[in-house]
Amino acid sequence: MEYEQLGRTGLKVSRIVLGTMNFGPQTDEADSHAIMDAALAAGVNLFDTANVYGWGDNKGRTEEIVGSWFAQGGGRRDRTVLATKVYGNMGGDGEQVWPNHDRLSALNIRRAVDASLKRLNTDHIDLYQFHHVDRHTPWDEIWQAVDVLVQQGKILYAGSSNHAGWHIAQANETAARRGSLGLVSEQCLYNLAERRAEMEVIPAAESYGLGVIPWSPLHGGLLGGAVRKEREGGGSRTNGGRSAGALANSAIRAQIEAYEDLLDKHGLQPGEVALAWLLTRPGVTGPIVGPRTPEQLDSALRAVELKLSEELLASLEEIFPGPGPSPEAFAW
């Protein structure tokens, strides 16, 4: 496994990030534990979760599964860089939604941290991430809450997710005025088929020293051999996931067909190339993979060893041209 420092911090994390969103809803506890054991044995040390994972009436279940894995001992917690998130309301479906039980008020951050620590069976969270921007809470309030939690030893670093470039700038300028460390990472939607983050989010992250952690690196399965699986009678997850209906768009379908044909000529697997491409991108620490099976984890791990030629990178750029940085992406 290769390791990269997370943004401007001294923290070293694996270039593949284990996402746990499927643990509970799609993968049972025993299989989830087996996947985490395999990931740790392969050198993956950054595990990503969120308080809302488990979804619906089972919100928090994923954190509980990670916590029960830590409880097995064997150095599991010490060798893991643990990342979780806060923002969404933790009430179950059909329950009354109370004010101050979601978003990023100091009150909810304090409540949510303590609840996550209990579910995760640990005394601290290494990377505490804001799952979405809160347009109604000032950054001074957010950093006040974070500073207290750092002083208490409950969290070590703060990161963002799904923030715009100007949100990153606003957050870290406010932190600098307070003498706080500020955001050290941004978790954003970024892959070969969805490159809008290159316009402002990634340049902002690089400028402020944030490590970029892309989520949905296969774009909901679209970049994982979707056309091939469709022809073979598979691809049910792709057809029902984030990329639902994408292949019905003739332009997108033509891109994916060209992508898969290119990789067939090189004898390469689409999903592994999509991950390996992200590892070549400036500012990227490592993509999040959310395996439902050990076999999917093995495929993701192979991407770290895959070196893409300049010729192949150029061909990928022709198929999936990026927007370019702002303002040139939309102006002169």
Task: Give the residue carrying structure tokens 């799904």.
Answer: 162
- The 10 Å CB-count burial string (b at 16+, else e) for 292-303 is beeebbebbbeb
Residue among 3, 53, 157, 259 flagged as catalytic: 53
Are the C-beta atoms of residues 167 and 139 closer than 8 Å to each other? no
Helix (H, G, I), strand (E, B) or coil at 215: strand
Task: Give the residue carrying structure tokens 């996550």.
Answer: 116
Number of helices (H), then strands (E), in the chain: 12, 10
Q: How far apart are the first and last CA of the chain?
A: 42
How far apart are alpha carbons 115 and 215 in whole angstroms? 24
How far apart are alpha carbons 198 and 188 in whole angstroms? 11
What contacts 304, CB < 8 A, 6 or more positions away? Answer: 1, 2, 15, 16, 276, 279
How far apart are alpha carbons 303 and 307 in whole angstroms? 8
Helix (H, G, I), strand (E, B) or coil at 92: coil
DSSP state of 117: H
Gyration radius from the chain CA atoms: 20
Per-residue 3-state assignment (H helix, E strand, C coil) for 6-32: CCCCCCEEECCEEECCCECCCECHHHH
Cα maximum dimension of the chain: 57
* Catalytic residue check, 128: no
Which residues are tagged catalytic?
53
